[in-house]
Amino acid sequence: MQEMELGGFFAEKVLQPLGAITSGSQFLEPDGLFPNHIPNPEDKTAMKAITQAVLENKADLGIIFDTDVDRSAAVDSTGHEFNRNRLIALMSAIVLEEHPGTTIVTDSVTSDGLTTFIEKKLGGKHHRFKRGYKNVIDEAVRLNSVGEESHLAIETSGHGALKENHWLDDGAYLMVKVLNKLASARASGIAGGSKVLTDLVEGLQEPGVAVELRLKIDQNHPDLKGGSFREYGVAVLRLLENHIESDPKLQKAPVNYEGVRASGFGGWFLLRLSLHDPVLPLNIEAASHEDAVRLGLAVSSAVKEFHALEMSALDKFIQP
């Protein structure tokens, strides 16, 4: 078993007493200066470090936590990462085996492929809500209170909470669920590294291109006319929504709780207003770079008259 990051207690206090071999673990000693990499399960450098360690040590599974162990991700024995949409797919598969038909609540930037996987393959319901792990958890609690059963609330960031664990935002508990699945397969005589986990996410459609571009609002620009960045951002979203409705190549998402989401060219985009900052993050996913650019061009042409928007990130992405 391979474990890393500042949740070092997990190797010594949880894994070893259960009989796991943790000799290849790394970065177990807490260090607030983070000398090894950013403590973030979404970070490419962090995921590369855990993947490399798993392969070098021929480990069955890699586990990575953020600083306070409320976010997590994993890597299977072949170096296949379980983070973002793949972690949600894995946890959904485990939870839906125990609670068939339950609703999985996620944040707003999850992929269309994940929705298809949860609903068509697993027989669950995907409820895509807002960014912010507290928003996701509160929505799952609300659904249960009005009679819609939900057992999992999880963000692409690696934050996840389960009804059975009293909706605590607990990355270690999520990984225990993953380990239980692996251990029960072993007890049943199923070997082969962590193939049982990889098999659980088989059929998940993943985009060829996935980007997040941040469009900043210049709060000192005369275009704001003394108004707030939030009012300006809402105006941008309103115009984009109108543009989508008049464009036959784009389809507005039928249910959406944050920002403006549309599909087209075999992919989708979501433009939303940041919770706290003068920024409009734009997420684009598509099968190819060309299709992602087409989606980016659609957004660019719709919002080009908003001169207080810093468009350099999007301009760079869509330029030939």
pLDDT at 27 over 90: no
Q: How far apart are CA 112 and CA 132, in angstroms?
A: 19
Sheet holding 260-264, edge to edge: 251-252, 260-264, 267-271, 279-286, 209-217, 309-310
Beta strands 150-154 and 103-106, pairing class: parallel
**Could you give the CA distance from residue 274 to residue 229 in angstroms, rounded to a whole number?**
10
How far apart are the C-alpha atoms of 271 and 269, rounded to whole Å? Answer: 7
pLDDT over 90 for what percent of the chain? Answer: 75
Average pLDDT (104-118) is: 98
User: What is the 3-state secondary structure of the chain?
Assistant: CEEECCCCHHHHHHHHHHCCCCCCCECCCCCCCCCCCCCCCCCHHHHHHHHHHHHHCCCCEEEEECCCCCEEEEEECCCCEECHHHHHHHHHHHHHHHCCCCEEEECCCCCHHHHHHHHHHCCCEEEECCCCHHHHHHHHHHHHHCCCCEEEEECCCCEEEEHHHCCCCCHHHHHHHHHHHHHHHHHCCCCCCCHHHHHHCCCCCCCCEEEEEEEEECCCCHHHCCCCHHHHHHHHHHHHHHHHHCCCCCEECCCCCCCEEEEECCEEEEECCCCCCCEEEEEEEECCHHHHHHHHHHHHHHHCCCCCEECHHHHHHHCC
Q: What is the Cα–Cα distance from 82 to 75, expressed in whole angstroms?
A: 6
pLDDT (0 to 100) of residue 8: 57
Of 185, 193, 210, nearest in space to 114 by CA:
210
Can you tell me the distance from the alpha carbon of 263 to that of 286, in angstroms, rounded to the nearest whole number?
A: 9
Domains and CATH numbers, the chain: 2-82 (3.40.120.10), 209-318 (3.30.310.50)
Confidence of residue 175 (pLDDT cuts 50, 70, 90): very high
d(CA 50, CA 265) in angstroms, rounded, equals 35
C-alpha of 88 from chain center: 7
**Res 58 pLDDT > 70:** yes
Q: What is the pLDDT of residue 4?
A: 41
Tokens of 106: 């996620």
241: its two tokens: 């929504």
Strands 160-162 and 150-154: antiparallel
| 262 phi, psi to nearest 5 deg | -145, 155
Tokens at 195, concatenated:
């193939």
Residues whose CB is less than 8 angstroms from the CB of residue 97 and which lie 6 or more positions away in sequence, other chains included: none
The confidence score (pLDDT) of residue 187 equals 83
CB half-sphere exposure, 207, CA atoms < 13 A? 26
Query: pLDDT at position 3, please?
Result: 41
pLDDT confidence bin for 77, thresholds 50/70/90: very high
pLDDT at 205: 96
pLDDT confidence of 238, banded at 50, 70, 90? very high
User: Cα-Cα-Cα-Cα dihedral of 124, 107, 46, 7, to 10°?
Assistant: -80
Q: How much of the chain exceeds pLDDT 70, in percent?
A: 89
